[in-house]
Amino acid sequence: MARPSAKNPTLSLDRGVLPSLLGYVLRRTQSAVFADFAATFAQAGEALTPGEFGLLVLVERNAGLSQMALARALGIDRSTLVPILNRLQARGLLVRRDSPTDGRTHALGLTPAGEKALTRFARLVKAHEKRIASGLSAAETRTLIGLLEKVRASARSL
């Protein structure tokens, strides 16, 4: 019988049930994908997080939306959104204009520089997506996305 302790430097250790847990595999995969995203952008001399990319796309496709609407779409608190918008605005990619109809809200929009940057970003994201899905057929990728959506639907806040 193999004694496990001893000296087992890098050779992966016993993970028990973990590899059969959906939550565990999901978390590890997400972590690796995030790293790949970061590496892809870093290598291109750009800096962006997946969350920022999603935010920019949302603002581009829904110009003039408010921070509350954006926060809801992102599933985060409105107070969490503030520093993120500050950063993007400081980079000159995004603006908070005064809403003509509601004095409380800001009408979010991309600057021309933001539009141009988003085009570059989209190219990098496409390359990143291609790499992480390189082990899958197109059909498998669609299946994977569909299954993930089903999981997300079942995993409600409760």
Partner DNA sequence: GGAGATTGTTTGGGGAGCAAACAAATTCGG
Partner DNA sequence: CCGAATTTGTTTGCTCCCCAAACAATCTCC
Which of positions 74-93 make contact with DNA (CB under 7 A)?
74-80, 82-87
Residue from 73, 78, 89, 96 touching a second copy (CB under 8 A): that is 73
Residue from 44, 60, 67, 73 touching DNA (CB under 7 A): that is 67
Q: What's the token pair of residue 96?
A: 């908070």
66 is a contact residue toward DNA (CB under 7 A): yes
Residues 6+ apart with CB under 8 A from 39: none
Which span sits near DNA by CB under 7 A: 14-22, 96-104, 129-137, 148-156?
A: 96-104
CA 107 to chain centre: 23
Residues 6+ apart with CB under 8 A from 67: 78, 81, 82, 85, 96, 105, 106, 108
- What residues line the site for DNA (CB under 7 A)? 31, 49, 51-52, 66-68, 71, 74-80, 82-87, 96, 102-106
